[in-house]
Structure 1
Amino acid sequence: MKYLLLAGISALVAMGAPLDQARAQAPVPDNLEKLSNFQSTGTNEFTFIEQTGDYADGVKKNLERIKLPAGFKIGLYALVPDARHMAVGPQGIVTFVGTRKDKVWSVTDRNKDRVADEVKDFAPSLKFSIPNGPCFSKDGFLYIAEQNRVLVYPAAEFFYESPDVAAFNVLKQGDLIPASEESYNHTARVCRIGPDGKLYISLGQPFNVAPADKLELYKKEGIGGIIRVNTDGTGREVYTYGIRNSVGHDFDPKTGDLWFTDNQVDGMGDDIPPGELNHQTAAGQHFGHPWYGGGDIRTNEYKDQEVPVDVVMPAVEMTAHAADLGMSFYRGSSFPAKYHNAIFSAQHGSWNRTTPVGARVMVTYVAEDGTATSEPFAEGWIDENGEYLGRPVDIAELRDGSILVSDDLAGAIYRIWYEGN
């Protein structure tokens, strides 16, 4: 995959600050303190991603394979390397895109033709570590959940035009999880602002099945769960227990209830255990891990133990190993009525299966009584040879009611819109 990288210029005064020694063997610049004090860092370059050419044409060609319900269309919105979770700015100016690497991207459609004109790195003066999870408050504060910290960027839709941005700690480096629990596995955090105005952050536990000697610590810290904090980082509490690795959650606009996806245990066979879409109705509920591997399938490691908690079973059991990730309730009105308040979710696709499954967008309809049913909405990113042409990660909604789908394999964001029959 080749991207043309171009340099942009913004003249600032050179300054520097040391990085926390626990995160590096040698000092490297970390400019958070300066940005928090509204000081220039001396950073004067962006990385820009070329949006045309052979690579873009190849992605567009692959989209011709995608099957959608009648009246829907899909197109390439932007080329975004390693595109993961997305946050659309409340003013509709820019979409911020996280990665599992060290960059956050800003994606701008300046002429409003529903195709991005500009993709460049956000806050290039900062050093990120797995900045997978961006989310916005309604009043324009951007939060980004990294592997082990959370930062807030006031007025991000304004400051992103400069390499230097206003940035502040919500949970400083090392305060999201204990440093001893940092891992290369299940480190992609996601966040949302809840109806209560608090910040909700998922914390996947790093094991296939969490070992017994970790359970007490994980319960206390919310690892293998979802925590919530005030937007200044105070008032931390564990809201959700018994999750293996959730990489997508959202709140029902009608009820305020939390819904979330969960990736279930590997190595148990092609067809078990199921993936999960869960519905939480009260703080402190438990969703079964590590006693259950997915649905009502017991894990091999804990199968002979009595389950010591009351477990909420999934609202929907998804295809085993399809890797359900990002999800979002549809709040718009441009799609047909059957999709209003439905959940759109991304299946990243299997690795632990002899025949690949997933790599598609699902839609889940939630009935008045809270029951739910799911079906494929957009599929075709696995070809007839079983080869992945793309791997959807997250869903976000634009102000016109169309939806965006990120893809970290193709390094792209797609837009799906409705034109009618």
Structure 2
Amino acid sequence: MSRLSMTPKYAHLLPALGLLAACSSGPSKEEKQQAQADNPAQTITTPKDENVHLPAPYESKSVTKRVDVIDWPAGKTPTAPAGFTVTEFAGGLQSPRWAYVAPNGDVFVSEAATLPKGLKKDIAAALRLDKSRSLQPTSANRITLFRDTNGDGKPDMRSVFLTGLDQPFGMLVMGNSFYVANTNGVLKYPYQPGQTKMTAAGQKILNLPEGGYNNHWTRNLLASKDGKKIFVTVGSGSNVMEHGPENEKRRANILEINPDGSGEKVFASGLRNPIGLAYYPGTTTLWAAVNERDELGDELVPDYITSVKEGGFYGWPYSYYGQNEDPRRKNERPDLVKAALVPDVPMGPHVAALGLTFYDKKAFPAKYQNGAFVGEHGSWNRSQYSGYQVAFVPFQDGKPAGKPEPFLTGFLVGGDSNKAHGRPVGVVTMPDGALLVTDDAGNKVWRVSAAQSAGGAGKTSR
């Protein structure tokens, strides 16, 4: 007997729940065969000379396989390579999704969760049926401030900085202004470096389409190199525009605005769910971490990180990984398919690449310097779990110099288990050279340091 059926309050909703589950249907056998004929398996070369094998659509069955998140055991941490130390930077949080390091070294963490929409998800959230902890009945909707005043790698001050928000995610300090990206818009607050609590009212400088497909409610922020513009990420409202183009207005884009919210324009488009934004060190080259689409099979479509060209179009929803037409949008926009750019670095299918930071410090060994760390939240649309780690991509002279490799692992219990202790999201580089990783399912923030660096006392993972 299901947990739901044993709950009288929701017993009358069981028929509706069953009907909703039965309403979903995939492509027919004939449609799959035609899609495979139109898009046979192939190997393509990325702009950075990385060969990517792409199977035909529907070569494997689309499945749903979610993890069962259990709490981290006392004293257990994720695992980093030998020579690194992993410690708990902060715990007792509520779905810490993103971290931002202010110019003065203060660490801001936004706490927000995916909320239910629709009857089926309302029930699932109320009964906590989503064991992956992606869906929550409530959202903390706050930003918490952490400060390490003595440089030992552990925050000795913790303060609730800002509350009453609407699914906050990205944060930004520009001059005497503090910006927050809610799911439905960007807020601007007066700010003085060092303040521990926001007391002034914020001004909404930009309205945004709220929510989105699955976790696509997140909105990230990054200042342009010259400090004159702000980039705003907005994910898609659907998997592959199945709700129509009206639902996708201003979505699947990186927007550009002035610091007062005016002058909005689309900087780059066709990015299904761009999250992490970062400049390659010492350049004006913008990079993004992007989630690709679901339900084409185990190996489609690879999530990626890519350099972002102003005015560039990256395929969604009409094509994937360049000019591979999505069979669900066949013959709709051949002009856009032809214009679609190939991303730079495939991170793997369904890994949910979210966080992105370039390591611009010297504390880590030379191998890691100027390379990219990518937070992979983990798959749900794959028969074998993928992601659930922080991956590292080596760079040399501004270009990827190797394939992604595991860096911070141990979030999955491993073996044949369907359980996980946490799910990494944001990654940021600290002024002292340590790396911070937000773990929304584990309700923690982890700190990774080179074992010999300051504040490195703790557990060395092997």
1:226 shift after superposition: 0.4
Pair 1:391 & 2:418 matched: no
Determine the structure 2 residue equivalent to 1:86. 99
> Secondary structure at the residue paired with 2:419?
coil
Pair 1:233 & 2:247 matched: no
1:69 shift after superposition: 2.4
Gaps of 5+ in 2: 1-70, 114-138, 453-459
Determine the structure 2 residue equivalent to 1:317. 346
Determine the structure 2 residue equivalent to 1:166. 200
1:358 shift after superposition: 0.9
Determine the structure 2 residue equivalent to 1:307. 334
Determine the structure 2 residue equivalent to 1:13. none
Contact 2:213-2:239 at 8 Å conserved across structures:
no
In the TM superposition, 1:17-166 aligns within 5 A as 58=72, 61-63=75-77, 66-79=78-91, 80-100=93-113, 101=139, 102-124=141-163, 127-137=164-174, 139=175, 141-155=177-191, 157-161=193-197, 164-166=198-200
CA distance in 2, matches of 1:229, 1:91: 25
Q: Deviations over 1:81-115 (max 9, x none)?
A: 21111111211234333423322222233443212
In the TM superposition, 1:232-251 aligns within 5 A as 232-251=260-279
1:188 to 215, 218, 227: 218
Determine the structure 2 residue equivalent to 1:286. 313
1:366 shift after superposition: 2.6
Percent pairwise identity: 30
TM-score, normalised to structure 1, is: 0.76
Determine the structure 2 residue equivalent to 1:407. 439
Range with bigger deviation, 300-309 or 66-75: 300-309
User: What is the number of residues matched between the two proteins?
Assistant: 349
Residue identity matched to 2:203 = N
> Secondary structure at the residue paired with 1:301?
helix
> Secondary structure at the residue paired with 2:342?
coil
Pick closer, same or farther for the CA change 1:132–1:354 going to 2, 3 Å: same
Contact 2:436-2:446 at 8 Å conserved across structures:
yes
CA distance in 2, matches of 1:297, 1:383: 36
Q: Deviations over 1:48-92 (max 9, x none)?
A: xxxxxxxxx9455331xx332231111100012211111112112
Q: Deviations over 1:222-254 (max 9, x none)?
A: 311100111111111110110111121111222
CA distance in 1, matches of 2:88, 2:422: 12
CA distance in 1, matches of 2:407, 2:370: 15
Pick closer, same or farther for the CA change 1:82–1:112 going to 2, 3 Å: same
CA distance in 1, matches of 2:394, 2:288: 14
Contact 1:209-1:265 at 8 Å conserved across structures:
yes
Determine the structure 2 residue equivalent to 1:49. none
Q: Deviations over 1:271-315 (max 9, x none)?
A: 2111111111x3110111011244665323123445312111110
> Secondary structure at the residue paired with 2:194?
helix
> Secondary structure at the residue paired with 1:158?
coil
Pick closer, same or farther for the CA change 1:317–1:184 going to 2, 3 Å: closer
CA distance in 2, matches of 1:110, 1:81: 24
Pick closer, same or farther for the CA change 1:225–1:399 going to 2, 3 Å: same
Contact 2:144-2:160 at 8 Å conserved across structures:
yes
> Secondary structure at the residue paired with 2:142?
coil
CA distance in 1, matches of 2:279, 2:311: 16
Contact 2:95-2:443 at 8 Å conserved across structures:
yes
Determine the structure 1 residue equivalent to 2:251. 223
CA distance in 2, matches of 1:60, 1:228: 44
- RMSD value over aligned CA atoms? 2.4
Q: Deviations over 1:372-391 (max 9, x none)?
A: 53221111211121311110
CA distance in 2, matches of 1:274, 1:156: 42
Determine the structure 1 residue equivalent to 2:406. 376
Q: Deviations over 1:360-408 (max 9, x none)?
A: 0111123336345322111121112131111000011221010100000
Contact 2:189-2:203 at 8 Å conserved across structures:
no
> Secondary structure at the residue paired with 1:128?
coil
Pick closer, same or farther for the CA change 1:253–1:60 going to 2, 3 Å: farther
TM-score, normalised to structure 2, is: 0.70
Residue identity matched to 1:375 = E
1:199 shift after superposition: 0.7
Residue identity matched to 2:312 = Q
CA distance in 2, matches of 1:73, 1:295: 39
Range with bigger deviation, 286-295 or 353-362: 286-295
Range with bigger deviation, 222-231 or 93-102: 93-102
1:184 shift after superposition: 6.7
**Higher-RCO chain (CA-CA 8 Å, sequence separation at least 6):** 2
